[in-house]
Chain A
Amino acid sequence: MNPAGRKVSEVAEQLLTEVNSVYSKTGKLSDELLSALNFVFQAPLLPALDIIDNRNVTTISCPSGRKVYQVIGTSGTPYICLPSGFYCSCPAYRYSVLLKDDHLMCKHVLAIKLAEAMDLSKSQQVTDLEMTNLIKNLE
């Protein structure tokens, strides 16, 4: 990532930290913060918030400590995403993030980041074997 890209990533991280701070104190996000989030994340933010509103982000963990996220998109398709990085197997990631370089991340990954910041994800425990299968099936 070039220096300018790193700057935007830093801004995004800073905003997510702010989301965590504000939401933990007030239980809601101010318009100013939403406006800033919208400025930086742009189109994926609205569907990401919709995903969060519908509690469609699930943290899947296993006894060994490994953790993945499952996000059910607006079309009902579940996507498995890793805690680190911006990778997602959705078409928007390939097109808008990788190919066009339009967005920093797709709505699913953004929903994960926001849900993590606001602690709005559901939790689910699976066995190590199931976790292995989940990761193996990652595209």
Chain B
Amino acid sequence: MSFKRKRPGDWGTLGDGFEGLDVDKPQVKRQKDRGLPGARRLYTSKNDVNDDPIEEIISWTSSEEENEDSRSQQRTASRSKKVKVSSTEKRASVRTKQEWKQSSCPEEEEVTVVCDSDDSTCNSSVDRLKMSEPVGESIEFDIECEDSRSSILTQPSESQNDTQVTCTSPCISQATSASTSQSHSPDQGGKVKASQWVKMLDLKTPTKNSQDVTFPELEDSAKKKKKYKRGGLADQLSSLKGRERSHISMVRHQQSTTPRTPQPDTGTKSLSLKILRLEPLFSLQLAHCIQEEGESLTEQLVLFLYDQSLQEGNSVQVFAPWQQIRLKHTSELVLLCSNYCITPPKDQTETMTLCQTDTRSKDSRDVVKVINGVWKCPCVSGLVFSPTTCPAHLNPGIPGLFSSKSEKDSEEGDDQLSALATIPATQSASVRTRLTKSSVLEWVDCHDPSTRLQGRVLRVFCFNTKGSPSEKRYSILIEDSHGTMCQIFCPEDAEMRFPSVLQRGEGLIHVFGGITVQCRATRDREPALFSVIDRLWSDKCVSNTGSSTPSLEESTAGSEESNSISQFHRTSAPAFCYVMKEAASEGGMVIRPIESDSSVVKERITRLAHLGREDQERVSVCCTVILSLNMSEVKDSLPRSDVRRSHRSILYVRDSSDPKYVTMTTIEGFCLPELNEMRNKTWMFRDVTYHLGKMACDKYSCVILQNTESVTSCDLDLLPINAESSVLDLYSVSGTVCGVDENSAYSWEVCDRCQQENLAQDTSSQQLVCLSCKEVVRKPQTRMKLVVFLSGTSKCDSTPVGHVTQPLPPESKVSVELLQSSIEELLPDASQTQEGYDMACVLGQKMGPLTCVVLKCKPSEVVLKEVSVDPQK
């Protein structure tokens, strides 16, 4: 912007139209500040060069007159001092309602631009500009404003003898425009139509350059305003609020049209504060700040109006007016602040240029070789959109890439250096700077995909997809600082990209980037997910209240943030959970830990004997798998109404707390290790569902191998088979062999290495060859299958004390599919028989007690399958 001034025109004809203006006669106009509060009055014209000029004073508001007191006069006086200081700068940054003073004298001609708010309570945004130049010379100076139309121009008119003042600032008030109209009139030399005159002004709505600046909406101006009692307190407050609103609008406009960094010397009183802690309450925010006064740091309590953009760690420039109240009880000063701007952290704007020595020291210029380091991180310069591929990300120890050059080189172009430092680096950095939100809702509201989300990882879910059961997928459940939950689905290659968070990230705070909201899950839509959330929620509640069930191990998440979260937000469990996924446009998901391993979450383990005591859908148990069955083998035995038919496997587990076993089925999606590997090992089953004595593992459950010793199954307490036996339960069976199912009695040979039955006989060598191993099978193993019918099963003496069971009816036909070991015990030595076995040799033999799983249990028929729970077998 420029301000050009030629000789003044005729200001004395204000209000008389444009006729009668003597354009040829140079007149020197002068306005004097009569000692009235300059910020509140507009001097529009003077038509006399005498010592007693006629002034036309326009008062802005009625209340301003009331507030003309000695204080405002002092302000005016202090401003005049500032004018002297700022006159050398030839700069003005605030353009609000403007007071023009135009004066001239034979030797010196002064143009004073006084910009002030009409807010009587505010004198902070006043900038003045006073210049002294010889008459007739054209003056041009820049005003800090990005919009070219936001300028105050004094430019040569067609007639060189006239001075024309043109004001086209976007924030020029009505009164200023009036003065502008008069300044044009001399050029016309006659009548000018109002429409032409308006066209000449070329008034346009200012364009906003502040696309990245968002302000909260002000009060609806279209709303019908209530009229208050004239002269009353409400009326006074209403007009005061109006002035404050307009002042805030001005300040915002200033913020949007000037660089957001605070100006070093604008003559405006301001405070630099750094927010340490922020506590929202009553639509206010109490901030514990550190005031940066030179090198000393003082603590300061500041009350801000509620503003989402304020965050802990922000640096805030607070402008006058502010008010301070000293609290009686604590003698603390509390600052009430409504006029402020958040300044970007210095490391975001300044660290991009790293000048390691003072290049301006002329004395050392000849001696010291200066290394000018320019930040060339691809992330900053915008060359790389994926932060994961940025060298700074890959090698965090490297602060950046430096290019060095000698001082001679740099002498050639300081401007070039600064352009390198500021334009590409800071500009890109300011655009590419990734803010981090600690609230999911704020993160969602900001609509900026580059903004990152910070939260504590509560759970890492590993699950199988339906299409590829062997492929592992991951999702992460996080909780933000406000207790809002969020499930983030990781990409397919997450295991390679984020191994640390997937393996050791639980309980730690991470920052997530490159994610987008997929949907919002509710309890109705995702009851399984919310049962996990409820469990986590209740765990926090338990840890907060300090109560613990004797049977439970206390779970603690021992960070301060967790405690603070729980302090405020543990009233009710969340009703929704954001579901997020990797954003397609942000260069991939980014997960970075920002917390060390200080907070270790100890899982709350429920003993099997205490299952059902808690009102929880999900529990975590630590137990030994004594038996595992593939559901496909036994599901035909289940009735069609049994939901377990769709499950994948069934595990029989127990722990040292209970001599009984508990069944646990695994649902599709649950990442289950090999069944054979699970047997006789102790595992922690985390977040398994428990309902009516049955546990189930779903995609939100997790199984972790424990180092503790497994529980032996020798003392397993099993009921004898009885009339009330349930399908897929284990029972103890004893009886006498009364028959054999000949159709099912057969044997076959398997490979001694792979236990596969894919054997074939080589026609040439007559040797058995395993088609799976591609090897010759020298000692094939014989597998046998035999189903026997038992009688006398109801005469079992092994019924535990206290259990009353209904014995099987005598007519019940009990069939048992025996294990290989039992068959071998039952049959006579194989060497004695060559052509099979005689049935008579097994009839009448006593068997048992055998551990059997019930496949079918009807009064007339009971089908059992012997299983082995002995770890030695």
Chain A interface residues (CB < 8 Å from chain B): 2, 4-5, 7-8, 10-11, 14-15, 28-29, 31-32, 34-40, 42, 45-47, 49-50, 52-54, 101-104
Residue B327 at the chain A interface, CB threshold 8 Å: yes
Partner of A15, one of B63, B234, B325: B325
How near does chain B come to A39, taking the closest CB pair, in angstroms? 5
- On chain A, the residues within 8 Å of B244 by CB distance are 35
Closest residue of chain B to A104 (Cβ to Cβ) is B282
Task: State the CA gap A44–B121 with chains docked (Å).
Answer: 21
**With A5-B282, A36-B325, A49-B232 in contact, do A11 and B303 touch (Cβ < 8 Å)?**
yes
Encode B761-776 as 1/0 by CB contact (under 8 A) with A: 0000000000000000
Query: Are A103 and B327 interface neighbours, CB within 8 A?
Result: no
Is A49 a contact partner of B281 (Cβ separation < 8 A)? no
In the bound assembly, the distance between CA atoms of A62 and B693 in angstroms comes to 67
* B362 → chain A closest CB, angstroms: 51
Instruction: Check if B328 is an interface residue, CB within 8 A of chain A.
Output: yes
Q: Is the CB of B325 within 8 A of A50?
A: no
* Beta-carbon contact of B236 and A103 below 8 Å: no
Contacts A/B (CB < 8 Å), 15 sampled: A2-B279, A7-B286, A7-B301, A7-B332, A8-B286, A10-B330, A31-B67, A31-B120, A36-B323, A38-B237, A38-B241, A49-B232, A52-B234, A53-B228, A102-B282
CB within 8 Å for A46 and B234 given contacts A31-B121, A38-B240, A40-B284: yes
Give the complex CA separation of A60 and B329 in angstroms. Answer: 32
- The CA of A45 and the CA of B238, in the complex, are separated in Å by 10
In the complex, the answer to whether B240 meets A31 with C-beta atoms within 8 Å is yes
Closest to A52 in B: B233
Q: Which residues of chain B are within 8 angstroms of A11 by Cβ–Cβ distance? A: 303, 325, 327, 334, 336
Residue of A nearest to B337 (CB): A39
A45-B237 CB under 8 A given contacts A7-B301, A39-B303: yes
- Chain A positions within 8 Å of B232 at CB level: 49-50, 53
Asked whether B229 is an interface residue with its Cβ less than 8 Å from the other chain, the reply is: yes
Whether B327 pairs with A39 at a CB distance below 8 angstroms is no
The residue on A at minimum CB distance from B338 is A39
B70 at the interface (CB under 8 A from A): no
- Whether B283 is near chain A, meaning CB under 8 Å from some CB there, is yes
| Chain B residues with CB under 8 A of A39 | 303, 305, 323, 336, 338
When C-beta atoms are compared, the residue in chain A nearest to B568 turns out to be: A2
CA distance A4 to B235 in the complex (A): 32
Nearest B-chain residue to A3, judged by Cβ:
B279
CA gap between A33 and B284 in the complex, in Å: 18
- Complex formed: what's the CA distance from A5 to B281 in Å? 7
Map CB proximity to A onto B322-347 as digits: 1 under 8 Å, 0 otherwise: 01011111101010101000000000
Asked if A53 meets B234 with Cβ closer than 8 Å, knowing A32-B323, A35-B121, A35-B244, the reply is yes
Give Cα A49 to B237, complex, Å: 8
Q: For B279, what are the chain A residues with a Cβ–Cβ distance below 8 Å?
A: 2, 4
Q: Is the CB of B286 within 8 A of A46?
A: no
Would you give the shortest CB distance from B531 to chain A, in whole angstroms? 29
Residue in chain A with minimal CB distance to B284: A8
Complex-state Cα separation, A49 to B232, whole angstroms: 8
Q: Which residues of B225-282 have CB atoms within 8 Å of chain A's CB atoms?
A: 226, 228-229, 232-238, 240-241, 244, 279, 281-282
Shortest distance between the CB of A76 and any CB in chain B (Å): 15
Complex Cα spacing A45 to B241, Å:
11
Q: Which 7 A-B pairs have the closest CB atoms?
A: A53-B232, A4-B279, A50-B234, A49-B234, A49-B233, A53-B229, A4-B286
CB atoms of A34 and B233 under 8 A apart = yes
In the assembled complex, the CB of B246 is this many whole angstroms from the nearest CB of chain A, namely 14
Give bound CA distance, A102 to B285, whole Å.
11
The docked-state distance in angstroms from the alpha carbon of A107 to that of B237 is 15
Q: Which residues of A contact B234 (CB under 8 A)?
A: 46-47, 49-50, 52-53
